[in-house]
Amino acid sequence: MFFNLPTLLTWARIVSIPLVVGVFYLDVKEPHQNLIATVLFIVVALTDWADGYLARRLNMTSSFGAFLDPVADKFLVCAALLVLVHLGRLHALVALVIIGREIAISALREWMAQIGASRSVAVHMLGKVKTTVQMIAIPFLLYHGTLFGLVDTQLWGTWLIYASAVLTIWSMVYYLQKALPEIRAKVR
């Protein structure tokens, strides 16, 4: 269904991305920008969990929702990574690895669907772990301060985003290995 509650939450995630980015262009002091962007990102990221839960719980799953949900996630992550690179909180190479993987795997999935082999690159737990680590690392990097006087969010965010980059490469290799037999069969 094009417009049901889970799909509307996914659309809301896409529409709210400019808000997360736009916070850094407001005439507000940096600590307040960081806090607002972090809270917005967390709220928006939670809609990813909520839309999936509601779609299953209310039996409102749809092909369109299954297509749109990962697109919304990729938009959100890519926008946040670009902001973090712009702010000097993330090395461009790390962002390039993560964004490049998303483009490559999206293209692979599209091609595999065209040749009738989409099951070979179905979402795997490794990809879900990668996404979870990204969704934890990014708010830490957006906050860019000390949380509760104890947690250096820049340090933790940096370590987590590096872990995410490793998981990104690992999951890409996994998906490519799963697709390779199908690719070999179709190329011959």
- Residue-wise pLDDT tens digits, 132-179: 999 999 999 999 999 888 999 999 999 999 999 999 999 999 988 888
State the residue range of the domain holding 33: 5-187
Choice among 8-17, 32-41, 82-91, 118-127 with the minimum mean pLDDT: 118-127
pLDDT value of position 156: 97
Contact 99, 110 (CB under 8 A): no
pLDDT at residue 120 greater than cutoff 80: no
pLDDT at residue 99 greater than cutoff 80: yes
pLDDT value of position 180: 82
Tell me, what amino acid is at 162? Y
Beta-carbon-side half-sphere exposure of residue 141 (alpha carbons within 13 Å):
26
What CATH code is carried by the domain that includes residue 89? 1.20.120.1760
Contact 78, 44 (CB under 8 A): no
- Name the more confident of 186 and 28: 28
What number is the average pLDDT over the span 127-132?
89
Identify any residues that bridge with 147 across adjacent strands, giving them in sequence order.
Answer: 151
CA distance 36 to 6: 25
Beta-carbon-side half-sphere exposure of residue 131 (alpha carbons within 13 Å):
19
**Count of structural domains, the chain:** 1
The 10s digit of each residue's pLDDT in 56-66 is 888 888 878 87
Going by C-beta distance under 8 Å and a sequence separation of 6 or more, which residues neighbour residue 188? Answer: none
pTM of the complete model beyond 0.85? yes
145 SS3 class: coil
What number is the average pLDDT over the span 178-187?
78
Contact 84, 90 (CB under 8 A): yes
CA distance 80 to 7: 22
pLDDT value of position 166: 96
pLDDT value of position 114: 80
